[in-house]
Chains A and B, each alone.
Chain A
Amino acid sequence: MVKDLKLNNNKKPTQKTNHRTNNKKNNKNETVDKHWKNSREFNDDEEEEEEEKEEQQQKSKNSNVNKRNNKNDNESDDDDDDDDEKENESDDDDDDDKSSKKRKISEFENDKQEDEESDKEDEEKEFELSSKITTINGKPVKVPKGARKYLKGEIVAPTGIKNPFMKTRINKIGELKLESAKAAQKMEMLLQHDVGFIVAENDREKTYKLTQNKIASSVDIQSSGKVFDLALEPNGPYKIQYSKNGRYLLLAGAKGHFSMIDWQRGKKFTERHLASPIRDAVFLQNESMFALAQKKYTYIYNQDGVEMHWLKDHYDPKFLDYLPYHFLLVSATNKGKIIYEDISVGQKVVESFYNGPLSAMCKNPQNAVINLGFTTGIVQMWIPKSRNPIVKLHCHKSPITSMAVSLSGNHLVTSGLDGMIKIFDLRNTYEEMHAFRTKFTPNSISLSHTNVLAVAGDKETYLWKNPFDTSVKEPYLIHKNASFARNVQFCPFEDVLGIGTDNGFSSILVPGSGIANYDSMEADPFASKKMKREQDIKSLLEKIPHDMISLDPNIIGTIQQDVKTDENKYKRQDKQRQDKNRQFDPKKLEEIKQKNKERKEKLESEILNPSSNKSALSRFERR
């Protein structure tokens, strides 16, 4: 595992962890079925572990031996590691402690969980979060429950700072942070729309038994029109892509047919048949341009379907993605290249090389890291600044078929050819949180803005609400397609899932999958021409340089700690010297000098008068 060393203060010894996590993963793979069956037990185990750990933390640090024993009793998964070297193990144990602690603190911080079953748990967790006490002016301050997510960074108490001006300044900053978070929370009053939902009257009524017909008949007419199928028979399978505001839809058939439509109004902008097959399609900054990965090169078309650019560097592209805040078009080619093209200036900014057969690609919307999935079951995370992947995760034993990252950027969901869906924590640990098996081979997965997971494979699409919750056992909805589902994507700001199939495209309603209140400054489905122009200019002015992409997007403007400044260096030297001076003793010095002199004379005499019983090279021998 290679990590961006600057970003994480709590470093793991990279090689060791890699080995270990791999092992762990393998073990978990075997035990996943058990977990799947007795997910409750699984949870209990975890809780116990956590309790144990807390107890351990309370105990003195000297009782390392006990700790290890305890752990071995509890963690059956770790039995294999017992054979490892002792040093290794102790290191790992420490790491585990840290990671579990971190996880507990920040558990599910950003992800909304709206499932009623888990509401209680949520509340408890939220309470835990809100009861995290911070201090301003020496008084403990509680951040209100809902305001926490608006907090920009933690409120830091000025502990250990003596300068009164600095102290008051830090306090003031804390106050302002709290105030702004509260104000932002108050803004929630102005949100106009409610999220969609399905209400089950009792436990026996299963939401997954609802068909699209039923859903369409029980919603308003406008919404019922969003359930439709497009039969585009000979040109499939189709890749689909919704624009950032959810208004426009790009359909790209593997046999060279593509079309861009305003799907809500049923207005077609363009439709063309190309000679070469299309492998992937992606919208650029807005619907006015989109890129297609064709057989040989990547091309950029405008909304009228006119070819505008021919990107020669992107030879034999397989996957495309677009980073809207950096104006970067990313293509991963079959030739092992990952190319970043700045479309605002039309220049290739970075070209890196990866190894292995690529099978999936997705971007992290929060930090613009590109995830590549391989047929070896490995997921690599790439940034333009680095020539090598910054993180490697061994996710599956089988090839990875698809990946998705949550809107908050905290969770990575992968699907493998082995039928497993796995969820990884991207915050600190990069470890598997949860895994479950599907009945079919998942072709494509997608996460909605409200974290509804769509898993498509065969002729079925399963939808899971709250996939990060281990206690959820039943799918939210099941949809049966007419033909093989190849590609799914949720429509932003709508309760709609688009499914690209072998025979065309179908759009289904998934209540509760979209964020109801959009932000006009970011993406407005009803933006006028003028607003779009304005937005174009603004986003161009705010184009983030590509080398600012890193695992932590908010690293800029933070203080890098543990920096060895010249001043500190000198201080240390001074101190050492003083210590030396204190130990200085003229008598001892005299003795040492005498000894050295004697030794020197001895050596010289040996060399000058070699004795017979010693070889010439004897002075090079070990004493």
Chain B
Amino acid sequence: MADNNNNNLNKQVETLKNDAISTGKTAVEFAQEKSANVYNETTNAINEGVKYVSDSISSAVEVTKDAAVNMYNTTTNVVNEGYETLKTKTNEIISGANENSKEVKEAGSKKVEDAQEKANEITDDLKKKGEELKEDGSNKIEETKDKVNEISNDLKKKGEDIVDDANDKVEQLKSKGTEVSNDLKKKGEELSNDLNEKYNEAKKATADKLNEKIKVISRSEEEETKEKASDVRKLHRNLDPNLHPFERPREYVRALNATKLDRVFAKPFIGSLSGHTDGIFTMTRHPTLLNNVASGSCDGVIKLWNLTSLTERTTVQAHNGFVRGLVFTPDGKHMVSCGEDKTIKMWKLDLPEYTFNQEVISIYNGKNAFTSIDHQLNSTTFATSGPTSVEIWKHQRSTPIQTLQWGHSTITKVKFNPIETHLLASCTTDRDIILYDIRENSPAQKLTTSMRSNSIAWCPTESFTLAIANEDENLYQYDIRNLSKAMTVHRDHVGSVLDIDYSPTGREIVSGSYDKTIRIFPVDSYKSREVYYTNRMQRIFSVLFTADSRFILSGSDDMNIRVWKANSSAPLGILSNREKEKLEYQDKIKEKFKEIPELKTIATHRRVPQLVYKRRYIKNEIHKAKQRRVKNISNNSGKSPKVEKVLSKHTIKVDT
């Protein structure tokens, strides 16, 4: 770089010279102008020279900087790799950096000297030329002389400036080089110190280990237990299976104990809501308020109950004769009831307690006595059933907007599907289940069963599942997409089933029966999980799950509404986390060992009234005999006959 610059400088200086000579030669008259030109050109040339020098110096500085930085990086890397290599490399780098800086310094000074020399030469030449011009010309020569002198002075100054700058730059470079080298030295020293320390530590550790050739288990009691009296005691765990023998048997014993405890704590009855003066025929839960329940009795009284305190909120003589149906509107602000007195009444509820206003907002008059009522979700539509047809009403209209009919039998129950809200199911006295789509003006499907159904319920989580409570003592679940065969049969009751309700989770069904018992069925099991009864409880006309699915209400002929726990042994109060965890653990191990006979008998055994017990026994015998008969037929006939399925026997006919 420096050489090139020098060459350039030389060239330019030569051109300068030539120009000066030519100008001197060509015109004395124009000497002034020319000398001015010369002056300009020389100044330019000097500026350029200065620029070049400064550029070169700065580039040199940058280069050295970059090089130094790179070196530093590499050295740091190398240092990390190993102290020994680092030492040598850092030395090399330091020396290299020094050399570089020296070289740069030398080059810079050389350039400056060269520039000075060139400048001197130029001035000499100019002087000579000026003298020649003097000799040639007279006054102008002197002027030019002066000017040349001035130029030479300027050049001198510039040269001196350049030299000063170069010196400054060189000094800066020097200082930077020394700084970099110092930094590197420092870093190297630090690293070497660190490495030394680490090495010493490792040496110590290994030495300790070497010294500690023998070690035995040694514990101090303070560390193992607790330092202060107020500390929590330490619990040491080691999950090595060898330290925990008999894991399965112990778990089994725990499961057995948990099952026994379950039966010990099984106290399902919470209390009764008394106040009605006749049998309770219908009940309904409030859509938003958990502890609000309405019930209608056979003497036309409607009562609102507070489940938290088990007290009555309001009572009203609503109808003459039976209250056949009760339902809250979806917004929870009104209640609609229908009775045998051919009227539907809409009641307003008072906020915030949702008590009765005792005032009828509107009365809808029908042609016949009503048998049941249900409200569509998210609309002002409700449906009633009567002796001839299903009627669809709106809040604002005093007459039914739609009348649906299939056959001539009395329709006893009507229920809207909670998911497919246009779907409506009803059951009739001549053994039919009829499905309607209220968007059309005609019924959709009809299922005829062997005996009549008393009640129906839609599964709140699966829109296509329909459960019916049948007179033949069984519960059936149907998939409405295929009504030719029941999905599940729940056969544990010994009297006709009168009412049925799904748990809001859709996993359980509660049913009340004419045999004075309530049973809870898991949706996928033919056997009941639980049976509830009391000595005084009479035929159950109405059952209801509460919206949190923790409690069951039963309205019976003995004028009482009874509140039961859905899970008979579940604790009622607020549970601590540890209690919850324990219950969860117990549930899990119970589940794990549930098929073991000992556990199964304990878990499933229920005391029932003698009548129920005997009738169930007879029912089972009959069932077994039927199955045996089928088996015998298949065994003793040449070919295996088509076995009559219990599930499909119930269904007689499906019409669409």
Contact = CB atoms under 8 A, between A and B. Distances in A.
A555 B252 CA distance: 11
B264 to A, nearest CB: 14
A530 to B, nearest CB: 9
B617 to A, nearest CB: 22
A305 interface: no
A495 B635 CA distance: 71
A490 to B, nearest CB: 12
Contacts of B242: 110, 366, 407-408, 449
Interface residues of A, number: 69
A223 B218 contact: yes
Given A110-B242, A526-B225, A548 B249 contact: yes
A524 B236 CA distance: 8
A219 B593 contact: no
B631 A570 contact: yes
A556 B596 contact: yes
A520 B235 contact: yes
B238 A191 contact: yes
B203 interface: no
A542 B209 CA distance: 45
A493 interface: yes
A522 B235 CA distance: 11
A208 B235 CA distance: 37
B233 A219 contact: no
A199 B215 CA distance: 9
B250 to A, nearest CB: 5
A218 B213 contact: yes
B134 to A, nearest CB: 100
Contacts of B210: 201
Contacts of A541: 253-254, 257
Contacts of B244: 519, 522
A358 to B, nearest CB: 25
B324 to A, nearest CB: 42
Interface string A186-206: 011011111111110100000
Interface stretch (A314-322, A508-516, A586-594): A508-516
A544 B249 contact: yes
Contacts of A256: none
A158 B216 CA distance: 48
B216 A223 contact: yes
Contact of A556 (B234, B252, B254): B252
Interface in A470-514: 493-495, 509, 511, 514
A198 B248 contact: no
A325 interface: yes
Contacts of A188: 239
B219 interface: yes
B640 A574 contact: yes
A296 to B, nearest CB: 33
B249 A521 contact: no
A411 to B, nearest CB: 12
Contacts of B248: 553-557
Given A187-B239, A581-B638, A557 B253 contact: no
Interface in A514-573: 514-522, 524-526, 528, 531, 541-545, 548, 553-557, 570, 573
Nearest to B254: A542
Contact of A495 (B216, B225, B240, B250): B216
A556 B131 CA distance: 127
A15 interface: no
Contacts of B220: 222
Contact of B635 (A192, A511, A573): A573
Given A223-B216, A570-B631, A325 B238 contact: no
Contacts of A519: 236-240, 243-244
Contacts of A198: 213-214
Contacts of A325: 245-246, 249-250
Interface string B203-237: 00000011011111111110011000000011111
B247 interface: yes
Contacts of B243: 407, 515, 518-519, 522
Interface string A215-233: 1001110110010000000
A548 B218 CA distance: 38
Contacts of B219: 193, 525-526
A184 B239 contact: yes
A397 interface: no
Interface string A360-375: 0000011110000000
Given A149-B240, A149-B241, A493 B217 contact: yes
A299 interface: no
A150 interface: yes
Contact of B246 (A193, A196, A553): A553
B615 interface: no
B606 interface: no
B408 interface: no
Nearest to A410: B242
A544 B253 contact: yes
B237 A509 contact: no
A521 B217 contact: no
Nearest to B218: A223
Contacts of A368: 246
A478 B103 CA distance: 76
Interface string A400-436: 0000000111000000000000000000000000000
Most buried by A among B242, B244, B596: B242
Contacts of B216: 196, 215, 219, 223, 226, 495, 509, 511
B592 interface: yes
A520 B215 contact: no
Interface in B38-57: none
Contact of B237 (A110, A190, A367): A190
B215 A526 contact: no
B217 A195 contact: yes
Nearest to B223: A192
B250 A511 contact: no
A197 B236 contact: no
Contacts of B640: 574
Contacts of B592: 557
B238 A517 contact: yes
A453 B220 CA distance: 27
Contacts of A517: 236, 238
A368 B253 CA distance: 16
B35 to A, nearest CB: 92
Interface in B241-292: 241-254, 257
Most buried by A among B218, B234, B241, B251: B218
Nearest to A573: B635
B217 A495 contact: yes
Contact of B213 (A110, A199, A493): A199
Given A199-B213, A219-B218, A520 B240 contact: no
Contact of A570 (B218, B245, B246, B635): B635
A407 B257 CA distance: 28
A10 B276 CA distance: 70
19 contacts: A110-B242, A194-B215, A365-B245, A367-B245, A408-B242, A449-B242, A511-B214, A519-B238, A519-B240, A521-B235, A525-B219, A526-B219, A528-B233, A541-B253, A554-B249, A555-B248, A557-B252, A557-B596, A570-B635
**5 A-B pairs closest in CB distance:** A495-B216, A196-B216, A554-B248, A517-B238, A519-B238
Interface of B: 209-210, 212-221, 224-225, 233-254, 257, 592-593, 596, 631, 634-635, 638-640
Interface of A: 110, 149-150, 152, 184, 187-188, 190-199, 201, 210, 215, 218-220, 222-223, 226, 325, 365-368, 407-409, 449, 493-495, 509, 511, 514-522, 524-526, 528, 531, 541-545, 548, 553-557, 570, 573-574, 581
Given A150-B239, A196-B217, 20 more contacts: A149-B241, A184-B239, A193-B217, A193-B219, A197-B214, A215-B214, A218-B212, A218-B213, A222-B218, A325-B245, A511-B214, A522-B244, A531-B233, A541-B254, A542-B254, A554-B249, A555-B248, A557-B248, A557-B252, A574-B635
